[in-house]
Structure 1
């Protein structure tokens, strides 16, 4: 008997033969999403100084991509693209401040909505950083905190609302702040004057009282409200009973993920697990401290490896390992000192570690930057029932997961939705060794690049993350994977052709409409 599933238009279509008739035989899907985890931070990708046995096992049992990318070199745009199939720059998405409204329209097609159309339950656990609340209307942190994940397709959510270096430093379970005392109401804002109210707990202001930052000091930009001895971005007052403990955050998220997996084992589910590791402020549980010679950053990566292992263990213990698709990746490349003096230093060359470990591997740059180290991240797909373990050099991108799962489920995507998401299912399953014919890369400010095979064109920047203007750049990654030699002047025709293609793609409604055949720059 064929399984029928509702299409996005409300019609019915047959599921492809990849899926078996009974609903509980559809593959579960778990995305394990790291934060600031670089290509070279994982043992399977060449790390020598950070032990990652659980992630390495995942890679050994799955398909490891050597040219796998997030959509942008910064967090919010990457997460936005992952969930919507749209490049962040098209919708003006950048790194969100505290108290930012929900950045994803509740009317927009999202990855969790697609899964729900295919009969799945959906959950998000961990870091959100995509905004909560209505534009132009203050969030009531003491009541129902919405709209948020539940309004864009998730059935269950347990979050840190923004990110761990920003206020409010509380967990959000569905629409409600966890353990909030109504006698100590919570307020969030951009200045002490906007949040301090009679009867609500007041926290030290790191600018006026830097000694309050007892965990470690801020090096730049993280010196507003001091919570748990750590300076944050933004101000909060109240909510003392609801404060998270930075050092137990990984444990809390793992517990929620394990409970969710156990409770959903009789039906297909989609879990988007977005870890806070290894984002600043890095505060690994004491049992992980000292596990590396790389300080808090290295130890936090060991903690994230443990987290990955616990999720895999939960799948195994519930008999779900064989028919669960696990995707492991990161929201952008690595960064070291990102606002705290936690011992993660850099040399004069931005993005390069001074302790013998480079989180970008052989690739140049990292978080915020348009070079390969900004978006080329660990990308592993494991599905024992369908995917043969190995290594793939196919070019793949997280933004294409939405269209790829639509193909898997036999669902059509409306022409005006997920315009940058392309079907890469064959590459993700190991059947296509080439992957995308071309791909946009996005970084902070106006950083944009176009990948066409081994060729990479970077458009001129009036202001780069490093501050100075940058000319057009062209690299042949087959000969120069570390992007050391700009050959734009040696190949003016190639440079001009790729510049025109990138301009056309950026001005279009989406990449998917331009897929027909080869990229002009390949010809």
Structure 2
């Protein structure tokens, strides 16, 4: 009798666990790479069709004031994963694993609460330990089991590119090993100061089979298939958290042959439409498995778009009317698309006006799953669940510190303060002769002449009111000296590590 009761109790406990898991949402985070607001149909793209992303927006919310914490990949993704400002990292990054092994991440908290966790696609947060002997980012032995990396951030499995797809090594990694590697044909990484390689970031040589396993025009297609395999193997057994990090439309712009010629914009538009197709394939899988309505889906980009001369000439305004581009602390570098679909919880077809940061994703999705994070997890993040579910329409976040490649900005309510001249990125960086700069963008800023040169009497710092001037056309720092002084003092506080 005692054994019978024990068996019944175990069965009841198992049933309770299944029921509890059934009530917890899956979470799918899809991050595009360098995708601007103007590249997405529901945000106003004229040249590119994105029906699958648009469907997510039609069945969910679309944020109009979503921002990354940085205008380039690595610091933005660090903040998403750790819920922490990148400038708090204590050293200059040289390719090591950025997130400390004992620091809670968005994935580790899910895993510790019974979720299956998978990372698929581009990872740009490093491998191994920091060392003064490390000569460059890729200075590892790629022919052995890889050191601390994605799995130590809380993911059960990983498949993707070990850095961005224009940085060596140009291979796929599965968990801790390079895919397709032949021990008799070792992989060799060459730093950019020795050989610039195909895209200026160095080269990888040897390892013929491993390089062939990652055709540049198939990366997102292969990565998406791996994510789908994970969903099929996990759905219905336990809830899952997936970080799907697509490489489009980051350079090299390389759509597959099936997508070339889809748009009048050329390969850039084709690449974005291929990315949208990948989003559709994942969503279709969720529908087929009966998981679409119990999956909280977030679609976003790690930073704003970078401009390409040939597409800009055709009228493609990837960042809409926001000033600047990727690398800049101006709005064009950090304002991003942000869409959330979660039927029955998130209202359909609604736009959100308040400020949202990608850094807030972790605390928001943990709250959606009913998870209480451990002390110290995501210290700079805010829980935006009440905003995205329509329980409030008031701003939860009023301040955000944002990084460009040569400077930083502070958002405070409607105000943006920048304690220096220029875009804090390539748009006004004289040495970035390869980039499209301010004079060629067709954008205006009161500190600059029509030819893109800085005016002699331009203030040494900048202040903009985004409610009155979302395009940051007029620096009003001399009109509001008290507000400038207030934000300058606050900037000094926030910028401390």
Find the partner of 1:375 among 330, 334, 344: 334
Kindly report which structure 2 residues correspond to 1:122-137, keeping only aligned pairs within 5 A, or say none.
122-136=117-131
In the alignment, the residues of structure 1 paired with residue 179 and residue 193 of structure 2 have an alpha-carbon distance, to the nearest angstrom, of 23
CA deviation digits over 1:35-65, x for unaligned, max 9?
Answer: 0000111010011111111111111011111
- Indicate if the aligned counterparts of 1:25 and 1:268 stay in contact, CA closer than 8 A: no
Deviation for aligned residue 1:462? 8.8
Alpha carbons 2:70, 2:403 under 8 Å: kept: yes
Corresponding residue to 1:322 among 260, 268, 293: 293
How far 1:419 sits from its partner (Å)?
A: 1.9
Q: How does 1:489-504 map to 2 (within 5 A)?
A: 489-504=478-493
C-alpha contact 1:395 1:434 (8 A) present in aligned 2: no
Give the superposition deviation at 1:381: 0.4
The whole-number CA distance in structure 1 between the counterparts of 2:370 and 2:192 is 50
CA–CA distance in structure 1, aligned partners of residues 222 and 79 of structure 2: 27
Q: CA deviation at 1:388?
A: 1.2
User: In structure 2, what is the equivalent of residue 458 of structure 1?
Assistant: 418
CA pair 367-494 structure 1, distance change in 2 beyond 3 A = same
Gapped regions of structure 2 (runs ≥ 5): 1-16, 431-453
Distance 2:472 2:423 in 1: 19
Cα deviations across residues 429-488 of structure 1 (Å, max 9, x unaligned)?
Answer: 232223334222423234222222222222225993223697321111111110001111
User: Distance in 1 between the 2:394 and 2:105 partners?
Assistant: 26
Deviates more, 1:122-131 or 1:494-503: 494-503
8 Å Cα contact 1:167/1:232 also seen in 2: no
Match of 1:484 among 448, 465, 473: 473
Q: Which residue of 2 aligns with 1:245?
A: 215
Matches within 5 A, 1:25-424: 25-91=23-89, 100-136=95-131, 138-190=139-191, 224-226=196-198, 231-243=199-211, 244-266=214-236, 267-337=238-308, 344-345=309-310, 353-389=312-348, 390-414=350-374, 416-424=376-384
Q: CA deviation at 1:251?
A: 1.5
Aligned equivalent of 2:495: 506
Contact kept, 8 Å, 1:447 with 1:461, in 2: the verdict is no
Distance 1:449 1:434 in 2: 23
d(CA) in 2 for partners of 1:299 and 1:269?
Answer: 31
Per-residue deviation at 1:248? 1.4
Is 1:426 matched up with 2:421? no
Distance apart, 1:190 and its partner CA:
1.4
Q: Where does structure 1 lack aligned partners over 5 or more consecutive residues?
A: 1-18, 194-204, 206-223, 338-343, 347-352, 510-523
TM-score (norm 1): 0.80
Indicate if the aligned counterparts of 2:24 and 2:369 stay in contact, CA closer than 8 A.
no
**Shift of residue 411, structure 1, vs aligned partner:** 4.3
Contact 2:66/2:356 (8 A) holds in 1: yes
| Count of paired positions | 442
